[in-house]
Structure formats: C-alpha cells, structure tokens
Amino acid sequence: MSIEIKEIKNLNPLQLSQCIEISNRLFGKGYHSKKYFLKKDIVKIVALNKNNIIGFFIGKKEIKNVVIDCIAIKRRWQRKSIGTKLMTFYFQKFLSSKDKVVAYAWKIKNKMPAGKINYKFGLKPVKNMGKIWKNKCNISFKCSSYNKTCICECVKFSN
C-alpha cells in the first residue's frame, strides 16, 4: 500500500466531499459541515491512497494550546498506522516540544478508539468532559451510536 501524507490548505470539491463522507460515516451525518473543512484557521492533513482521501487530521493553534480537533480514518483503513502517520506529520511539522497539546477522545461503552494513539504521542487523560454532545446528538447530526439517548462521552487528553 502506498499512502501519501500531506497538508492541504484548500480542499478541492472532490476532496471536500471525501472528508465529509468519512466524517458522516464515523461521527454521524451532519457532524461536520462543509464550512468546518473550509475554515482558514485550521491545519488539514490528509492521507491519500491513489489520490483519494482515506483519512484526515484537523489541528488548530489557540492562544495557549494546540488542539487536535479531529482525526478520522476510513473504517477499512483503520489499524494500519495511518492515524499514527497523520499525528507524526503534525507533531514534526507544526509543533515544538514546548507546545501544550490538547486532544478530545470519544468514549463509548468504556472504549476509546483514540485513547491509544493519544498515549503514543505523550497525551494522557486529564478530564472526563461527560456527554458534551447530548444536546446535538440525533438533532443536528445523526450518530449511529444513539440509543434512545446520547451514550458517548468525551475525554480530554493533554501532555
């Protein structure tokens, strides 16, 4: 498999729809808007296979922190180190050892898909934020995990 990792400042319409599709499938339809991916103050790093986006990483610099806003790998490409490659690219090209990094992991039924990858990059759980999506879940986006109520929690990680 030959995977290319690169930063894309302006996603073209096809790349934009590929990111939206990945997000819709993983987080629920409507979770990320097109506007989200077109924002100028975010860093967008993508993983490409044969020129198609199979994963994306969104990071942003805030006043005090660097925030890993989202990392998502198409289901059939997960657990093949692509998430690790996206994180490595960001940490090497955009961060210094002094940066305070914050990431938010989604926890469902006591499992945290992003827990291990966060640990790998020196981030540890610092706070359980609770059900931060409750007011939006199944309203502004359709989460596939929704089960009569929102069942996902958010855990804040930091270095």
Ligand X SMILES: CC(C)(COP(=O)(O)OP(=O)(O)OC[C@H]1O[C@@H](n2cnc3c(N)ncnc32)[C@H](O)[C@@H]1OP(=O)(O)O)[C@@H](O)C(=O)NCCC(=O)NCCS
Binding residues for ligand X, rule: CB under 6 A, are: 26, 70-73, 78-84, 105-106, 113-114, 116-117, 120
Q: What is the dihedral of CA 62, 55, 130, 59, to 10 degrees?
A: 0
Closest residue to ligand X, judged by C-beta, is: 83
Select 26 or 46, whichever has its Cβ closest to ligand X.
26
Select 11 or 86, whichever has its Cβ closest to ligand X.
86
What does each C-alpha distance from 18 to 13, 25, 35, 106, 140 come to in angstroms?
A: 9, 11, 14, 22, 20
Helix (H) or strand (E) holding 130: strand 124-130
* Least distance from ligand X to the Cβ atom of residue 83, Å: 2
Select 1 or 98, whichever has its Cβ closest to ligand X.
1
* Least distance from ligand X to the Cβ atom of residue 75, Å: 8
* Least distance from ligand X to the Cβ atom of residue 136, Å: 15
Spatial separation of the C-alpha atoms in residues 8 and 43, rounded to whole Å: 8
